[in-house]
Amino acid sequence: MPIDIRDIEPQDCEWVHNFLLTYAGSACVVSRGQLHQADQLPGFIATYDGIPAALLTYHVTGYELEVVTLHAAQPGHGLGSALLEAARETARQLGCQRLWLITTNDNEPATRFYQRRGMHLVAVHRNALQESRKLKPEIPLTGVDGKPSQDEVEFKFRSNFDAKG
């Protein structure tokens, strides 16, 4: 099935908000002490066979692009990989020196996904979710498979986004 990637457009606002509620539990995301309203960020929508099925939002500060959210309604079809590649291309075009993201220690499927795509685990911010819960109290205490959610796990591509990641 064909995958198409396109920029989020103003008419997508309701879909983006509802998709984030469904797949992320909220449109608010905390990373490294910053609260993001993810449904108001730029990003990309991936369509699978003409149907919107995955979303990536990002935030650019200086020469860094942070992937704030990445969710696919249909895992295993290449949607997340295509979105991550679109973010890499955007970072290149913007002259960014770093593309990075945060996930949580309980999210082992995401950890495997990012590592298989050439991202490097660069930091584990111990007990960071204690501080994040001050900004977003609804962050659950447990996550994937009931594992305690405590730490932020930081991934990045190597600088210059070379072919090796």
Q: What is the per-residue pLDDT across 10-37, written as a single tens digit (0 to 9) for each?
A: 999 999 999 999 999 999 999 999 999 9
Residue 132 has pLDDT above 80, yes or no: yes
**How many percent of the chain have pLDDT more than 70?**
95
Mean pLDDT of the chain: 93
Query: What average pLDDT does the segment 111-127 reach?
Result: 96
Domain range spanning residue 64?
Answer: 3-161
The domain spanning residue 146 has which CATH number?
3.40.630.30
pLDDT at residue number 145: 84
Name which of 88, 65, 68 is nearest 162 in CA terms.
88
* Structural domain count of the chain: 1
Contact 70, 55 (CB under 8 A): yes
User: How many alpha carbons fall within 13 Å on the CB side of residue 39?
Assistant: 18
Contact 86, 118 (CB under 8 A): no
Q: What is the rounded distance in angstroms from the CA atom of residue 92 to the CA atom of residue 84?
A: 12
